[in-house]
């Protein structure tokens, strides 16, 4: 079945470091791909999305490119801030379907 695998955390970085969180997916079709973020004490928020191969989603300095050939959607940010500390979820969804399939999440902690 369809699934999402993302790198295990926690990931701890210093402020201004470069961030990569790896995400790969298994899908029978051509889903849309998402990154959601969950800040402490808050609900899940959509961070960015890409709906087809080679699309790049971006928001708040984060980027991810839909790579069909490697079935990947890695999240990157050039310079992280303490306020980026959160749990990040990679996810997929088909346009014809209702449910989002989430990865298990990666906890990111940024040291000042």
Partner 1 sequence: DTGVSQDPRHKITKRGQNVTFRCDPISEHNRLYWYRQTLGQGPEFLTYFQNEAQLEKSRLLSDRFSAERPKGSFSTLEIQRTEQGDSAMYLCASSLAGQGQVDTQYFGPGTRLTVL
Q: Rule CB under 8 A: is residue 99 a binding residue for partner 1?
A: yes
Contact pick of 40, 43, 69, 70 for partner 1 (by CB under 8 A): 43
Structure tokens at 103: 């990865």
**In terms of residues, how long is the chain?**
112
* Nearest of 65, 66, 87 to residue 76 by alpha carbon: 65
Taking the complex as a whole, the smallest distance from the CB of residue 84 to partner 1 amounts, in Å, to 19
> Distance of CA 81 to CAs 18, 85, 91, 112, Å?
10, 8, 23, 8
Contact pick of 44, 58, 65, 72 for partner 1 (by CB under 8 A): 44
Give the binding site for partner 1 (CB under 8 A).
4, 32, 36, 41-46, 49, 51, 89, 91, 93, 95, 98-105
């Amino acid at each position: 079945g369809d699934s999402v695998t993302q790198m295990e955390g926690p990931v701890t970085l210093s402020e201004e470091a470069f961030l990569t969180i790896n995400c790969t997916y298994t899908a029978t079709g051509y889903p849309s791909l998402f990154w959601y973020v969950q800040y402490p004490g808050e609900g899940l928020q959509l961070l960015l999305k890409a709906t087809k191969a080679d699309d790049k989603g971006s928001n708040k300095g984060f980027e991810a490119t839909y790579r069909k050939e490697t079935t990947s959607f890695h999240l990157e940010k050039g310079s992280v801030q303490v306020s980026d500390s959160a749990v990040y979820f990679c996810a997929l969804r088909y346009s014809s379907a209702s449910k989002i399939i989430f990865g298990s999440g990666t906890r990111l902690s940024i040291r000042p």
